[in-house]
Structure 1
Amino acid sequence: MTLEHTTEPIRIVLIDDHTLFRSGIKALLARQEGFEVIGEASDGLSGVKLVEQAAPDVVLLDLDMPVMNGREALAQILSSRPEQTVVMLTVSEDSEDLTECMRLGARGFLLKNIHAEFLIESIKKAAAGDNVFSPEMTARLVQSLINPGTPAVAGALDSLTQRELEILGHLAAGRSNKVIARKLDLAESTIKVHVQNILRKLELTSRVQAAVYAVQHNVPQPQD
Protein backbone atom coordinates (compact mmCIF):
# COMPACT_ATOMS: atom_id res chain seq x y z
CA MET A 1 0.00 0.00 0.00
CA THR A 2 1.34 3.42 -0.94
CA LEU A 3 1.06 6.25 1.57
CA GLU A 4 0.37 9.67 0.08
CA HIS A 5 2.58 12.50 1.25
CA THR A 6 0.53 15.46 2.44
CA THR A 7 1.91 18.94 2.95
CA GLU A 8 0.43 21.23 5.55
CA PRO A 9 -1.07 24.42 4.04
CA ILE A 10 0.59 27.77 4.61
CA ARG A 11 -1.46 29.41 7.36
CA ILE A 12 -2.04 33.11 6.71
CA VAL A 13 -3.35 36.10 8.66
CA LEU A 14 -4.52 39.19 6.74
CA ILE A 15 -4.27 42.62 8.38
CA ASP A 16 -5.80 45.35 6.23
CA ASP A 17 -8.49 47.95 6.85
CA HIS A 18 -10.15 47.48 3.45
CA THR A 19 -12.79 44.77 3.71
CA LEU A 20 -13.12 44.29 -0.06
CA PHE A 21 -9.37 43.88 -0.45
CA ARG A 22 -9.24 41.25 2.28
CA SER A 23 -12.16 39.45 0.67
CA GLY A 24 -10.38 39.47 -2.68
CA ILE A 25 -7.19 38.02 -1.21
CA LYS A 26 -9.15 35.35 0.66
CA ALA A 27 -11.01 34.38 -2.52
CA LEU A 28 -7.75 34.22 -4.47
CA LEU A 29 -6.04 32.01 -1.89
CA ALA A 30 -9.12 29.78 -1.54
CA ARG A 31 -8.75 28.86 -5.21
CA GLN A 32 -5.16 27.72 -4.66
CA GLU A 33 -3.90 24.52 -3.07
CA GLY A 34 -1.67 24.85 -0.05
CA PHE A 35 -3.04 28.05 1.53
CA GLU A 36 -5.36 28.67 4.44
CA VAL A 37 -6.46 32.09 5.72
CA ILE A 38 -6.90 31.48 9.44
CA GLY A 39 -7.80 35.03 10.48
CA GLU A 40 -8.13 38.65 9.48
CA ALA A 41 -8.06 42.04 11.19
CA SER A 42 -9.02 45.54 10.09
CA ASP A 43 -6.50 47.51 12.16
CA GLY A 44 -2.98 47.09 13.47
CA LEU A 45 -3.84 46.62 17.13
CA SER A 46 -6.39 43.87 16.45
CA GLY A 47 -3.88 42.34 14.05
CA VAL A 48 -1.15 42.16 16.69
CA LYS A 49 -3.49 40.37 19.09
CA LEU A 50 -4.68 38.00 16.36
CA VAL A 51 -1.14 37.02 15.36
CA GLU A 52 -0.23 36.28 18.98
CA GLN A 53 -3.27 34.01 19.31
CA ALA A 54 -3.22 32.31 15.91
CA ALA A 55 0.57 31.96 15.33
CA PRO A 56 0.31 31.89 11.52
CA ASP A 57 3.05 30.95 9.08
CA VAL A 58 2.77 34.24 7.17
CA VAL A 59 1.24 37.62 7.97
CA LEU A 60 0.21 39.94 5.13
CA LEU A 61 0.27 43.41 6.66
CA ASP A 62 -0.89 46.77 5.28
CA LEU A 63 0.86 50.02 6.23
CA ASP A 64 -1.85 52.68 6.46
CA MET A 65 -4.48 51.56 8.98
CA PRO A 66 -6.47 53.05 11.85
CA VAL A 67 -5.74 52.56 15.57
CA MET A 68 -2.20 51.31 14.89
CA ASN A 69 -0.32 51.64 11.59
CA GLY A 70 1.60 48.88 9.85
CA ARG A 71 5.03 49.94 11.09
CA GLU A 72 3.91 49.89 14.72
CA ALA A 73 2.11 46.59 14.25
CA LEU A 74 5.18 45.07 12.60
CA ALA A 75 7.41 46.16 15.47
CA GLN A 76 5.03 44.74 18.08
CA ILE A 77 4.51 41.45 16.24
CA LEU A 78 8.24 40.82 15.88
CA SER A 79 8.91 41.93 19.44
CA SER A 80 6.76 39.10 20.78
CA ARG A 81 7.36 36.65 17.91
CA PRO A 82 10.85 37.34 16.45
CA GLU A 83 10.64 34.41 14.02
CA GLN A 84 7.28 35.44 12.59
CA THR A 85 7.24 35.90 8.82
CA VAL A 86 5.61 39.23 7.96
CA VAL A 87 5.22 40.55 4.43
CA MET A 88 4.07 44.13 3.88
CA LEU A 89 1.31 44.40 1.27
CA THR A 90 0.67 48.06 0.56
CA VAL A 91 0.13 50.84 -1.97
CA SER A 92 3.09 52.79 -0.59
CA GLU A 93 6.08 53.12 -2.92
CA ASP A 94 7.91 55.32 -0.43
CA SER A 95 11.57 54.34 0.03
CA GLU A 96 11.48 55.34 3.69
CA ASP A 97 8.56 52.97 4.34
CA LEU A 98 10.45 50.21 2.55
CA THR A 99 13.73 50.58 4.40
CA GLU A 100 12.08 51.09 7.79
CA CYS A 101 9.99 47.94 7.42
CA MET A 102 13.03 45.92 6.38
CA ARG A 103 15.01 47.36 9.28
CA LEU A 104 12.26 46.26 11.64
CA GLY A 105 12.44 42.75 10.23
CA ALA A 106 9.76 42.39 7.54
CA ARG A 107 10.36 39.47 5.19
CA GLY A 108 9.17 41.39 2.17
CA PHE A 109 7.52 44.47 0.68
CA LEU A 110 4.88 43.94 -2.00
CA LEU A 111 2.74 46.51 -3.77
CA LYS A 112 -0.97 45.87 -4.13
CA ASN A 113 -0.78 46.23 -7.91
CA ILE A 114 1.16 42.96 -8.34
CA HIS A 115 -0.28 40.09 -10.35
CA ALA A 116 -2.03 37.30 -8.48
CA GLU A 117 0.57 34.77 -9.59
CA PHE A 118 3.38 36.94 -8.19
CA LEU A 119 1.61 37.20 -4.83
CA ILE A 120 1.12 33.42 -4.66
CA GLU A 121 4.78 32.73 -5.41
CA SER A 122 5.90 35.45 -3.00
CA ILE A 123 3.91 33.93 -0.14
CA LYS A 124 5.47 30.54 -0.83
CA LYS A 125 8.97 32.02 -0.92
CA ALA A 126 8.44 34.04 2.25
CA ALA A 127 7.13 30.97 4.06
CA ALA A 128 10.31 29.15 2.98
CA GLY A 129 12.46 31.91 4.49
CA ASP A 130 13.24 34.07 1.46
CA ASN A 131 12.83 37.84 1.15
CA VAL A 132 10.28 39.01 -1.42
CA PHE A 133 9.82 42.37 -3.14
CA SER A 134 7.78 43.88 -5.91
CA PRO A 135 10.18 44.33 -8.85
CA GLU A 136 10.00 48.14 -8.76
CA MET A 137 10.90 48.18 -5.07
CA THR A 138 14.07 46.10 -5.37
CA ALA A 139 16.08 48.88 -7.05
CA ARG A 140 14.89 51.37 -4.43
CA LEU A 141 15.98 49.06 -1.64
CA VAL A 142 19.44 48.62 -3.11
CA GLN A 143 19.79 52.38 -3.65
CA SER A 144 18.74 53.10 -0.08
CA LEU A 145 21.18 50.59 1.39
CA ILE A 146 24.24 51.24 -0.76
CA ASN A 147 25.30 54.68 0.43
CA PRO A 148 28.18 56.28 2.34
CA GLY A 149 26.17 56.03 5.55
CA THR A 150 26.14 52.23 5.57
CA PRO A 151 27.61 51.32 8.99
CA ALA A 152 29.77 48.41 7.89
CA VAL A 153 33.11 49.01 6.23
CA ALA A 154 35.22 46.72 4.06
CA GLY A 155 37.66 46.03 6.88
CA ALA A 156 34.85 44.47 8.91
CA LEU A 157 35.06 41.44 6.62
CA ASP A 158 38.31 40.57 8.37
CA SER A 159 36.34 39.88 11.54
CA LEU A 160 34.32 37.11 9.87
CA THR A 161 35.35 33.47 10.08
CA GLN A 162 35.75 31.44 6.90
CA ARG A 163 32.40 29.78 7.53
CA GLU A 164 30.71 33.16 8.07
CA LEU A 165 32.18 34.46 4.80
CA GLU A 166 30.82 31.37 3.05
CA ILE A 167 27.36 31.93 4.50
CA LEU A 168 27.52 35.64 3.62
CA GLY A 169 28.06 34.56 0.02
CA HIS A 170 24.93 32.43 0.21
CA LEU A 171 23.00 35.41 1.59
CA ALA A 172 24.17 37.46 -1.39
CA ALA A 173 22.73 34.75 -3.62
CA GLY A 174 19.36 35.26 -1.92
CA ARG A 175 19.20 31.87 -0.21
CA SER A 176 17.15 31.14 2.89
CA ASN A 177 18.57 29.59 6.07
CA LYS A 178 16.92 26.29 5.15
CA VAL A 179 18.57 26.18 1.73
CA ILE A 180 21.97 27.22 3.12
CA ALA A 181 21.73 24.54 5.80
CA ARG A 182 21.01 21.88 3.19
CA LYS A 183 23.88 22.97 0.94
CA LEU A 184 26.39 23.11 3.81
CA ASP A 185 25.05 20.00 5.56
CA LEU A 186 24.47 21.94 8.78
CA ALA A 187 21.48 22.39 11.08
CA GLU A 188 19.21 25.32 10.23
CA SER A 189 19.63 26.56 13.82
CA THR A 190 23.41 26.67 13.27
CA ILE A 191 22.96 28.80 10.15
CA LYS A 192 20.70 31.14 12.10
CA VAL A 193 23.42 31.66 14.72
CA HIS A 194 26.02 32.33 12.01
CA VAL A 195 23.73 34.90 10.34
CA GLN A 196 23.21 36.67 13.66
CA ASN A 197 26.98 36.79 14.18
CA ILE A 198 27.50 38.17 10.67
CA LEU A 199 24.96 40.97 11.25
CA ARG A 200 26.52 41.83 14.61
CA LYS A 201 30.08 41.93 13.27
CA LEU A 202 29.15 43.99 10.22
CA GLU A 203 26.88 46.28 12.27
CA LEU A 204 23.91 45.58 10.03
CA THR A 205 20.29 45.02 10.97
CA SER A 206 18.92 42.60 8.36
CA ARG A 207 19.98 39.81 6.04
CA VAL A 208 18.94 42.04 3.12
CA GLN A 209 21.54 44.62 4.18
CA ALA A 210 24.07 41.79 4.53
CA ALA A 211 23.33 40.58 1.00
CA VAL A 212 23.73 44.08 -0.46
CA TYR A 213 26.93 44.58 1.53
CA ALA A 214 28.31 41.27 0.22
CA VAL A 215 27.66 42.26 -3.39
CA GLN A 216 29.11 45.72 -2.82
CA HIS A 217 32.33 44.22 -1.41
CA ASN A 218 32.64 41.37 -3.96
CA VAL A 219 32.11 38.50 -1.53
CA PRO A 220 32.15 35.35 -3.70
CA GLN A 221 28.77 33.71 -4.24
CA PRO A 222 28.86 29.90 -4.23
CA GLN A 223 27.93 28.10 -7.41
CA ASP A 224 24.93 25.75 -7.55
Structure 2
Amino acid sequence: MGEALRVLIADDHDDFRHGLEALLAAAPSIDVVGTASDGAMAVALSLDLQPDVILMDLHMPRLNGVEATARIVQSSPHIGVVVLTMMEDQESVFAAVRAGARGYLLKGARRAEITRAVAAVGAGEVIFGPGIADQVMAYFAAARARPAADAFPELTERERVVLGLIAEGKENGEIARQLSLSIKTVRNHASNIFAKLQVAHRAQAIVKARDAGLGQDF
Protein backbone atom coordinates (compact mmCIF):
# COMPACT_ATOMS: atom_id res chain seq x y z
CA MET A 1 0.00 0.00 0.00
CA GLY A 2 1.33 3.43 -0.98
CA GLU A 3 1.73 6.46 1.20
CA ALA A 4 -1.43 8.12 2.52
CA LEU A 5 -2.77 11.09 0.59
CA ARG A 6 -2.10 14.36 2.41
CA VAL A 7 -5.33 16.36 2.49
CA LEU A 8 -6.17 19.94 3.51
CA ILE A 9 -9.78 20.91 4.33
CA ALA A 10 -11.00 24.48 3.67
CA ASP A 11 -14.50 25.38 4.89
CA ASP A 12 -15.79 28.25 7.01
CA HIS A 13 -18.47 26.20 8.80
CA ASP A 14 -16.82 24.76 11.91
CA ASP A 15 -19.18 21.80 12.39
CA PHE A 16 -19.00 20.76 8.74
CA ARG A 17 -15.22 21.14 8.67
CA HIS A 18 -14.82 19.05 11.83
CA GLY A 19 -17.17 16.42 10.42
CA LEU A 20 -15.11 16.21 7.22
CA GLU A 21 -11.92 15.95 9.23
CA ALA A 22 -13.33 13.03 11.24
CA LEU A 23 -14.60 11.34 8.08
CA LEU A 24 -11.30 11.58 6.23
CA ALA A 25 -9.19 10.78 9.28
CA ALA A 26 -11.03 7.46 9.51
CA ALA A 27 -9.87 6.49 6.00
CA PRO A 28 -6.57 4.56 6.20
CA SER A 29 -5.29 6.01 2.91
CA ILE A 30 -5.86 9.67 3.89
CA ASP A 31 -3.91 11.90 6.25
CA VAL A 32 -5.55 15.25 7.11
CA VAL A 33 -2.58 17.61 7.40
CA GLY A 34 -4.47 20.84 8.06
CA THR A 35 -7.73 22.77 8.07
CA ALA A 36 -8.58 26.32 7.02
CA SER A 37 -11.63 28.45 7.85
CA ASP A 38 -11.26 30.94 4.99
CA GLY A 39 -9.78 31.18 1.52
CA ALA A 40 -6.73 33.22 2.43
CA MET A 41 -5.80 30.69 5.11
CA ALA A 42 -6.32 27.88 2.59
CA VAL A 43 -3.84 29.49 0.18
CA ALA A 44 -1.25 30.11 2.90
CA LEU A 45 -1.53 26.60 4.34
CA SER A 46 -1.47 24.91 0.94
CA LEU A 47 1.74 26.70 -0.03
CA ASP A 48 3.29 25.77 3.32
CA LEU A 49 2.04 22.20 3.68
CA GLN A 50 1.93 21.21 -0.02
CA PRO A 51 -0.93 18.71 0.39
CA ASP A 52 -1.84 16.26 -2.38
CA VAL A 53 -5.53 17.22 -2.33
CA ILE A 54 -7.57 20.13 -0.97
CA LEU A 55 -11.30 19.92 -0.21
CA MET A 56 -12.42 23.47 -0.96
CA ASP A 57 -15.66 25.27 -0.15
CA LEU A 58 -16.56 28.06 -2.59
CA HIS A 59 -18.30 30.56 -0.33
CA MET A 60 -15.75 31.60 2.31
CA PRO A 61 -14.68 34.90 3.92
CA ARG A 62 -11.55 36.91 3.03
CA LEU A 63 -11.04 35.01 -0.23
CA ASN A 64 -13.62 32.88 -2.05
CA GLY A 65 -12.92 29.31 -3.06
CA VAL A 66 -12.60 30.06 -6.78
CA GLU A 67 -9.91 32.70 -6.27
CA ALA A 68 -8.17 30.55 -3.65
CA THR A 69 -8.17 27.62 -6.08
CA ALA A 70 -6.71 29.77 -8.87
CA ARG A 71 -3.88 31.01 -6.64
CA ILE A 72 -3.07 27.53 -5.35
CA VAL A 73 -3.09 25.85 -8.77
CA GLN A 74 -1.03 28.64 -10.32
CA SER A 75 1.73 28.30 -7.73
CA SER A 76 1.41 24.55 -7.06
CA PRO A 77 -0.21 22.87 -10.10
CA HIS A 78 0.43 19.40 -8.66
CA ILE A 79 -2.12 20.03 -5.86
CA GLY A 80 -5.54 18.61 -6.74
CA VAL A 81 -8.46 20.78 -5.63
CA VAL A 82 -11.85 19.16 -5.04
CA VAL A 83 -14.65 21.68 -4.61
CA LEU A 84 -17.22 20.64 -2.00
CA THR A 85 -20.03 23.17 -1.94
CA MET A 86 -23.76 23.85 -1.79
CA MET A 87 -23.56 25.75 -5.09
CA GLU A 88 -24.65 23.75 -8.12
CA ASP A 89 -25.30 26.52 -10.67
CA GLN A 90 -23.37 26.25 -13.93
CA GLU A 91 -21.57 29.55 -13.37
CA SER A 92 -20.06 28.29 -10.11
CA VAL A 93 -19.14 24.91 -11.58
CA PHE A 94 -17.28 26.35 -14.55
CA ALA A 95 -15.69 29.17 -12.57
CA ALA A 96 -14.15 26.46 -10.39
CA VAL A 97 -13.02 24.43 -13.41
CA ARG A 98 -11.51 27.53 -15.03
CA ALA A 99 -9.62 28.18 -11.80
CA GLY A 100 -8.12 24.69 -12.01
CA ALA A 101 -10.33 22.53 -9.75
CA ARG A 102 -10.09 18.83 -10.60
CA GLY A 103 -13.29 17.81 -8.86
CA TYR A 104 -16.69 19.21 -7.92
CA LEU A 105 -19.05 17.66 -5.39
CA LEU A 106 -22.15 18.94 -3.63
CA LYS A 107 -22.29 18.92 0.16
CA GLY A 108 -25.10 16.39 0.04
CA ALA A 109 -22.65 13.82 -1.32
CA ARG A 110 -22.41 10.52 0.55
CA ARG A 111 -19.34 9.89 2.67
CA ALA A 112 -18.11 7.20 0.29
CA GLU A 113 -18.37 9.64 -2.64
CA ILE A 114 -16.20 12.18 -0.85
CA THR A 115 -13.43 9.74 0.05
CA ARG A 116 -13.58 8.23 -3.46
CA ALA A 117 -13.27 11.71 -5.02
CA VAL A 118 -10.26 12.53 -2.84
CA ALA A 119 -8.58 9.27 -3.87
CA ALA A 120 -9.39 9.79 -7.56
CA VAL A 121 -8.09 13.36 -7.68
CA GLY A 122 -5.05 12.30 -5.67
CA ALA A 123 -4.39 9.74 -8.42
CA GLY A 124 -4.55 12.45 -11.09
CA GLU A 125 -8.14 11.98 -12.23
CA VAL A 126 -10.84 14.60 -12.74
CA ILE A 127 -14.15 13.82 -11.04
CA PHE A 128 -17.59 15.40 -10.87
CA GLY A 129 -20.48 14.35 -8.66
CA PRO A 130 -23.86 13.18 -9.99
CA GLY A 131 -25.84 16.05 -11.49
CA ILE A 132 -22.70 18.13 -11.82
CA ALA A 133 -21.33 15.55 -14.26
CA ASP A 134 -24.49 15.91 -16.37
CA GLN A 135 -23.94 19.68 -16.60
CA VAL A 136 -20.31 19.22 -17.53
CA MET A 137 -21.01 16.62 -20.22
CA ALA A 138 -23.80 18.73 -21.73
CA TYR A 139 -21.48 21.72 -21.86
CA PHE A 140 -18.65 19.75 -23.44
CA ALA A 141 -20.96 18.00 -25.90
CA ALA A 142 -21.94 21.40 -27.31
CA ALA A 143 -18.38 21.89 -28.54
CA ARG A 144 -17.45 21.25 -32.18
CA ALA A 145 -14.10 20.31 -33.64
CA ARG A 146 -13.58 23.47 -35.74
CA PRO A 147 -11.26 25.87 -33.88
CA ALA A 148 -12.11 29.57 -34.07
CA ALA A 149 -9.88 31.18 -36.72
CA ASP A 150 -8.07 33.53 -34.35
CA ALA A 151 -8.15 31.40 -31.20
CA PHE A 152 -4.92 30.37 -29.49
CA PRO A 153 -2.29 31.76 -31.90
CA GLU A 154 0.38 30.13 -29.74
CA LEU A 155 -0.80 26.70 -30.94
CA THR A 156 0.28 25.04 -34.16
CA GLU A 157 -2.41 24.21 -36.70
CA ARG A 158 -2.28 20.53 -35.73
CA GLU A 159 -2.52 21.43 -32.02
CA ARG A 160 -5.61 23.57 -32.74
CA VAL A 161 -7.22 20.62 -34.52
CA VAL A 162 -6.40 18.32 -31.59
CA LEU A 163 -7.75 20.88 -29.13
CA GLY A 164 -10.95 21.11 -31.18
CA LEU A 165 -11.41 17.35 -30.92
CA ILE A 166 -10.62 17.41 -27.20
CA ALA A 167 -13.26 20.14 -26.83
CA GLU A 168 -15.72 17.86 -28.57
CA GLY A 169 -15.19 15.36 -25.76
CA LYS A 170 -13.11 12.84 -27.69
CA GLU A 171 -10.52 10.75 -25.87
CA ASN A 172 -6.94 10.31 -27.10
CA GLY A 173 -7.58 6.96 -28.77
CA GLU A 174 -10.50 8.32 -30.76
CA ILE A 175 -8.50 11.40 -31.79
CA ALA A 176 -5.61 9.17 -32.88
CA ARG A 177 -7.90 7.11 -35.11
CA GLN A 178 -9.59 10.17 -36.61
CA LEU A 179 -6.29 11.92 -37.42
CA SER A 180 -4.37 8.72 -38.28
CA LEU A 181 -1.82 9.39 -35.55
CA SER A 182 -0.36 7.23 -32.81
CA ILE A 183 -1.83 7.61 -29.33
CA LYS A 184 1.63 8.67 -28.13
CA THR A 185 1.67 11.52 -30.66
CA VAL A 186 -1.80 12.67 -29.60
CA ARG A 187 -0.74 12.49 -25.95
CA ASN A 188 2.30 14.65 -26.76
CA HIS A 189 0.12 17.16 -28.61
CA ALA A 190 -2.26 17.29 -25.63
CA SER A 191 0.62 17.87 -23.19
CA ASN A 192 1.95 20.70 -25.37
CA ILE A 193 -1.53 22.23 -25.60
CA PHE A 194 -2.06 22.13 -21.84
CA ALA A 195 1.35 23.71 -21.25
CA LYS A 196 0.78 26.49 -23.80
CA LEU A 197 -2.71 27.25 -22.49
CA GLN A 198 -1.41 27.06 -18.89
CA VAL A 199 -4.15 24.67 -17.82
CA ALA A 200 -3.88 21.87 -15.29
CA HIS A 201 -6.03 19.25 -17.00
CA ARG A 202 -8.33 18.28 -19.86
CA ALA A 203 -11.57 19.68 -18.43
CA GLN A 204 -9.97 23.08 -17.86
CA ALA A 205 -8.63 23.09 -21.44
CA ILE A 206 -12.12 22.38 -22.80
CA VAL A 207 -13.69 25.23 -20.85
CA LYS A 208 -10.93 27.60 -21.97
CA ALA A 209 -11.43 26.54 -25.58
CA ARG A 210 -15.17 27.15 -25.38
CA ASP A 211 -14.63 30.53 -23.72
CA ALA A 212 -12.43 31.54 -26.66
CA GLY A 213 -15.18 30.67 -29.15
CA LEU A 214 -13.80 27.36 -30.28
CA GLY A 215 -16.39 25.24 -32.06
CA GLN A 216 -18.93 27.90 -33.00
CA ASP A 217 -21.26 26.81 -35.76
CA PHE A 218 -20.31 27.54 -39.33
Q: Which bin holds the TM-score, normalised by the shorter protein?
A: 0.7 to 0.9
2:96 corresponds to: 101
Contact in 1 for aligned 2:53/2:81 (Cα 8 Å): yes
> CA–CA distance in 2 between the matches of 1:83 and 1:40?
19
TM-score, length-scaled by structure 2: 0.73
Q: Secondary structure at the match of 2:71?
A: helix
Cα contact 2:159–2:189 (8 A) shared by 1: no
Once the two structures are superposed, what CA deviation does each residue of 1:8-62 show, in whole Å capped at 9, x if it has no partner? 1010000100111111111111222111100000000011000000000101110
Decide whether the 8 Å contact of 1:61 with 1:87 is kept in 2: yes
Match for 1:139 among 129, 134, 142? 134
Alignment of 1:88-167 (within 5 A): 88-147=83-142, 152=147, 159-160=158-159
**Aligned pair in 2 of structure 1 residues 185, 34: CA closer, same or farther (>3 Å)?**
farther
CA RMSD of aligned residues (A): 3.8
TM-fit CA distance, 1:128: 0.5
SS at match of 1:135: coil
Per-residue deviation, 1:135: 1.0
Question: Offset of 1:211 from its aligned partner?
Answer: 7.1
Distance 1:33 1:185 in 2: 36
Q: Does the 8 Å contact 1:12/1:58 carry over to 2?
A: yes
Alignment of 1:62-77 (within 5 A): 62-77=57-72
Q: Which has the larger displacement, 204-213 or 57-66?
A: 204-213
The equivalent residue for 1:220 is none
Preserved contact between residue 151 and residue 204 of structure 1 (Cα < 8 Å): no
Q: Name the residue aligned to 2:34.
A: 39
Name the amino acid aligned to 1:56: P
Aligned residues: 192
Alpha-carbon distance change, 173 to 159 in structure 1, aligned in 2, over 3 angstroms: closer
> How far 1:80 moved relative to its partner?
1.2
Identical amino acids, percent of aligned pairs: 34
1:109-139 per-position Cα deviation (integer Å, ceiling 9, x unaligned): 1111011111111111100110011110011
TM-score, scaled relative to structure 1: 0.71
- CA offsets per residue over residues 138-182 of structure 1, 9 Å max, x none? 1111233444699836xx997149xx79xx6xx84599xxxxxxx
Q: Matched residues in 1 for 2:183 and 2:2: separation?
A: 23
Matched, 1:61 2:56: yes
Q: Which runs of 5+ in 1 are unaligned?
A: 1-5, 176-183, 218-224
Alpha carbons of structure 1 residues 135 and 152: separation in structure 2 relative to 1, 3 Å: farther
Gaps of 5+ in 2: 149-154, 174-181, 210-214
- The one of 17, 21, 25 equivalent to 2:20 is 25
Match of 2:178 in 1: none
Contact persistence 1:130–1:174 (CA under 8 A): no
- How far has the Cα of 1:199 moved from its partner? 4.3
Aligned to 1:222: none
Work out whether residues 95 and 144 of structure 1, in 8 Å CA contact, stay in contact via their aligned partners in 2. Answer: no
- Which amino acid in the other structure matches residue 2 of structure 2? T
Report the Cα offset of residue 197 of structure 1: 2.1
Contact preservation (8 Å) 1:63, 1:70: yes
C-alpha contact (below 8 Å) 1:12/1:59 kept by paired residues: yes
Structure 1 runs, 4 residues or longer, greater than 6 Å off: 148-151
